[in-house]
């Protein structure tokens, strides 16, 4: 299934760094989210959009993950020539990742 | 009785709408309204306006703002904002003019100067790590440098009785944190409390993004968002409540709050602002009523010793041209058009810093990372950054000449603007000299 069926997301920008956070609708899916949404899977999906590192942070209180991607915005909003210089659409791209949440939702 | 400070968000960027913010102010629900008016590029563009006219460079909405909020101010409401942008003095003039024209008297205006650190950045030849150069190496291109300043001068001005406070590059959360700290009597070095205040501030600083605006995604997340409400924080000694005005669309729920919580933070254990190193790791979000959530569990550690500076860099001219192709073979014709323009621009490549060709509907957002089927129409987007206006004009001309083939190109549009980039640097806190001023009107 696609991540979008079980989770939601938001992307933000600071300079050339993009962060994309992901939360599951059901807090009970927290462990599955941590198992399924690895840095490797995110890197596969984003490919050459991200030239730098991808670091995954956990938010155990809100049961979320935050992916911080460097050199991810072609120079950042003010210098990039991209159509979406903020990476606002990254929050949608991450939800296209294939994940296995068993029988959920 | 438990002390509560109620603060509303009034703006999240330089051209945010003021009508819904006025609704919140006029509701009587809040004692404070805070307005973030600056995104990363806004400051540099404001400096360009100031260079052209020394009475410009401030937020351009102040006349409308004063008309809309005269009533709120007359009732004693307080306002804080980074309306100064590149020119706090000019912003203060506009505010005083607006108070007079609306017959509002007895308002003490506080003005914060000193975020402009351009001279210092050049003198110290600061490193610009994202660009891999020092400020001195590109000194001729450096047009601005502003430090993100914190809550201290706002608290100082509130203590002096200021009712309307403005400055330049005051950090987004500091605009909210300062009134919370002042009203609650929290010391600015009570790091745990600063963590809590930063949490409340962070949940407000993006305006209607935080009340459902950037949340809707049918069929999974449905909300009416036609007439959004700006968010409100109610802060007490024990908790932070986030809510919004009754009768407005959007929502304040677990989903809107969690996504705003993690918006533009990196390590959730170390969210750096001028006021604290906040730790949101163990924050919890709980719905306690309709459009009403309780957030708990933020902590904090001492604020960073350095302040972030955004340095504005003149990068010549940016030009973007688009043209559409449709029907059978549209993708092939758009790709052929790309090759043709690239060849026609070859003689000018010395003066073209970067050029890129994207196809809306195919590669423009994700560069092909999300392959789709054959589109029925595509829009070719040609974007270039050039050393000078003359070269940008050539790019525009050659892109527009796609009128003459390949077949069926239509709907040409062109945008042309000075390319002002911003890039971060760090500066020791003590090198930023803040000065406050009080104007009684």
When CB atoms are compared, the residue of B220, B280, B424 closest to A59 is B280
When CB atoms are compared, the residue of A5, A23, A57 closest to B258 is A23
Q: Is residue B56 part of a domain?
A: yes
When CB atoms are compared, the residue of B261, B358, B421 closest to A79 is B421
Q: Do residue B213 and residue B234 come from a single domain?
A: yes
Domain extent for B357: 310-424
Domain extent for A52: 3-94
Q: Which residue, of B277, B304, B331, is where some domain finishes?
A: B304
Q: Is residue A101 part of a domain?
A: no
Residue in chain A lying closest to B322 (CA): A83
Residue in chain B lying closest to A24 (CA): B255
Give the angle subtended at the CA of B436 by the CAs of B12 and B176, to the nearest 5°.
Answer: 30
Q: Is residue B335 part of a domain?
A: yes
Q: Do residue B286 and residue B173 come from a single domain?
A: yes
Tell me the DSSP string of B192-206.
HHHHHHHHHHHHHTT
Q: Which residue, of B251, B275, B304, is where some domain finishes?
A: B304
Chain A residues touching B40 at Cβ < 8 A: 13-15, 76-78
Q: Do residue B43 and residue B24 come from a single domain?
A: yes
Reduced to 3 states, what is the DSSP secondary structure of residue B285?
Answer: strand
Tell me the DSSP string of B117-168.
-HHHHHHTT-EETTTTEETGGGGGGEEEEEE-B-SHHHHHHHHTT-SEEEES
Q: Do residue B385 and residue B283 come from a single domain?
A: no
Q: Is residue A99 part of a domain?
A: no
**What does the pLDDT look like over A65-95, one tens digit per residue?**
999 999 999 988 888 999 999 999 999 999 9
Please report the sign of the dihedral spanned by the C-alpha atoms of residue B39, residue A49, residue A25, residue B239: negative
* Chain B nearest C-alpha distance from A60 (Å): 6
The pLDDT score that the predictor gives to residue B211 is: 97
Interface probe, candidates B144, B258, B379, chain A, greatest A C-beta count within 10 A: B258
The pLDDT score that the predictor gives to residue B120 is: 95
Q: Is residue A102 part of a domain?
A: no
Q: Which residue, of B304, B325, B340, is where some domain finishes?
A: B304
- CB of A15 less than 8 A from some CB of B: yes
Q: Is residue A9 part of a domain?
A: yes
CATH value at residue A26: 3.30.70
Reduced to 3 states, what is the DSSP secondary structure of residue B169?
Answer: coil
Q: Is residue A59 part of a domain?
A: yes
Per the structure block, which two tokens stand in for B167? 């400055």
Interface probe, candidates B257, B264, B352, B415, chain A, greatest A C-beta count within 10 A: B264
Cα B227 from Cα B214, distance rounded (Å): 13
Q: Is residue A105 part of a domain?
A: no
**Can you say how many angstroms the Cα of residue B415 is from the centroid of all Cα atoms in its chain?**
22
Peptide bond preceding A105 in cis form (omega within 30 of 0): yes
Q: Is it the case that residue A51 has pLDDT exceeding 60?
A: yes
Q: Is residue A103 part of a domain?
A: no
Q: Do residue B246 and residue B261 come from a single domain?
A: yes
Upper half-sphere CA count for residue B376 (Cβ side, 13 Å): 0
Cβ-Cβ contacts under 8 Å between A and B: the total is: 140
User: What's the complex ipTM?
Assistant: 0.96
From first to last of its 441 residues, what are the pLDDT tens digits of chain B? 689 999 999 999 999 999 999 999 999 999 999 999 998 888 888 988 998 999 999 999 999 999 999 999 999 999 999 999 999 999 999 999 999 999 999 999 999 999 999 999 999 999 999 899 999 999 999 999 999 999 999 999 999 999 999 999 999 999 999 999 999 999 999 999 999 999 999 999 999 999 999 999 999 999 999 999 999 999 999 999 999 999 999 999 999 999 999 999 999 999 999 999 999 999 999 999 999 999 999 999 999 999 999 999 999 999 999 999 999 999 999 999 999 999 999 999 999 999 999 999 999 999 999 988 889 999 999 999 999 999 999 999 999 999 999 999 999 999 999 999 899 999 999 999 999 999 998
Cα B19 from Cα B422, distance rounded (Å): 30
Chain B residues touching A48 at Cβ < 8 A: 367, 369
Q: Do residue B267 and residue B329 come from a single domain?
A: no
Q: Is residue B40 part of a domain?
A: yes
CATH value at residue B367: 3.30.70.100
Please state the domain count of chain A: 1
Q: Do residue B107 and residue B172 come from a single domain?
A: yes
Q: Is residue B273 part of a domain?
A: yes
Q: Do residue B314 and residue B252 come from a single domain?
A: no
When CB atoms are compared, the residue of B263, B315, B384 closest to A10 is B263
Q: Do residue B402 and residue B318 come from a single domain?
A: yes
Q: Is residue A7 part of a domain?
A: yes
Q: Is residue B77 part of a domain?
A: yes
Q: Is residue B14 part of a domain?
A: yes
β-pairing, B164-167 with B108-113?
A: parallel
Q: Is residue B122 part of a domain?
A: no
- CB of A1 less than 8 A from some CB of B: no
Q: Is it the case that residue A105 has pLDDT exceeding 70?
A: no
Please state the domain count of chain B: 2
Q: Do residue B172 and residue B27 come from a single domain?
A: yes
- Residue spans of beta strands (DSSP E) within B153-273: 164-167, 231-235, 240-244, 271-272
In sequence order, the 6+-apart residues with CB closer than 8 A to the CB of B332 are none
Q: Do residue B170 and residue B280 come from a single domain?
A: yes
Chain B residues touching A5 at Cβ < 8 A: 220
Sheet order of strands, A64-69 included? A7-14, A17-24, A64-69, A54-59
The pLDDT score that the predictor gives to residue B48 is: 86
* Chain A nearest C-alpha distance from B22 (Å): 27
Instruction: Tell me which DSSP letter residue A103 carries.
Output: T
Q: Do residue B191 and residue B337 come from a single domain?
A: no
Q: Is it the case that residue A3 has pLDDT exceeding 80?
A: yes
């Amino acid at each position: 299934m696609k991540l979008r069926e079980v989770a939601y997301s938001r992307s933000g920008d600071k300079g050339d760094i993009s962060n994309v956070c992901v939360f599951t609708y059901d807090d009970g899916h927290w462990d599955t989210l941590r198992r399924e949404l690895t840095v490797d899977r995110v890197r596969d999906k984003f490919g050459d959009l991200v030239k730098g590192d991808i670091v995954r942070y956990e938010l155990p209180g809100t049961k979320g993950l935050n992916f911080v991607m460097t050199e991810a915005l072609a120079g950042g909003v003010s210098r990039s020539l991209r159509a979406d210089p903020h990476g606002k659409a990254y929050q949608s791209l991450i939800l296209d990742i294939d994940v296995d949440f068993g029988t959920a939702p | 009785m438990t002390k509560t400070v109620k603060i509303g968000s009034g703006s999240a960027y330089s051209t945010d709408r003021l009508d819904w913010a006025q609704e919140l102010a006029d509701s009587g629900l809040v004692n404070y309204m805070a307005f973030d008016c600056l995104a990363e590029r806004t400051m540099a563009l404001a400096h360009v306006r100031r260079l052209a006219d020394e009475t410009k460079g401030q937020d351009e909405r102040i006349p409308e703002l004063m008309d809309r909020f005269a009533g709120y101010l007359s009732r004693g409401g307080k306002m804080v904002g980074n309306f100064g942008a590149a020119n706090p003095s000019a912003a203060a003039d506009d505010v005083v003019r607006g108070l007079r024209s609306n017959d509002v008297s007895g308002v003490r205006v506080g003005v914060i100067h000193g975020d402009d650190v351009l001279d210092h950045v050049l003198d110290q030849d600061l490193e610009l790590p994202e660009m891999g150069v020092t400020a001195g190496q590109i000194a001729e291109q450096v047009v601005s440098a502003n430090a993100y300043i914190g809550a201290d001068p706002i608290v100082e001005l509130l203590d002096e009785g200021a009712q309307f406070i403005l400055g330049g590059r005051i950090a987004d959360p500091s605009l909210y944190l300062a009134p919370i700290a002042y009203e609650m009597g929290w010391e600015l070095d009570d790091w745990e409390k600063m963590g809590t205040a930063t949490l409340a501030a962070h949940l407000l600083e993006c305006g209607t993004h935080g009340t459902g605006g950037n949340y809707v995604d049918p069929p999974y997340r449905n909300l009416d968002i036609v007439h959004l409400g700006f968010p409100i924080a109610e802060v007490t000694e024990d908790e932070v409540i986030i809510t919004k005005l009754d009768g407005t669309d959007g929502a304040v729920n677990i989903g809107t709050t969690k996504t705003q919580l993690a918006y533009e933070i990196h390590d959730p254990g170390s969210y750096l602002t001028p006021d604290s190193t906040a730790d949101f790791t163990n924050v919890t979000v709980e719905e306690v009523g309709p459009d009403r959530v309780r957030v708990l569990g933020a902590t904090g550690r001492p604020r960073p010793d350095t302040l972030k500076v955004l340095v504005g860099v003149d990068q010549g001219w940016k030009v973007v041209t688009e043209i559409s192709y449709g029907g059978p073979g549209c993708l092939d014709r758009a790709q052929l058009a790309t090759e043709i323009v690239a060849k026609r621009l070859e003689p000018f490549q010395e003066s073209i810093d970067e050029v890129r060709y994207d196809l809306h509907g195919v590669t423009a957002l994700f560069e092909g990372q999300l392959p789709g089927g054959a589109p029925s129409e595509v829009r070719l987007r040609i974007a270039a950054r050039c050393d000078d206006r003359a070269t940008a004009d050539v790019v525009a001309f050659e892109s527009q000449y796609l009128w003459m083939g390949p077949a069926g190109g239509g709907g040409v549009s062109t945008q042309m603007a000075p390319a002002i980039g911003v890039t971060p640097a760090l500066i020791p806190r003590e090198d930023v000299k803040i000065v406050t001023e009080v104007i009684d009107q």
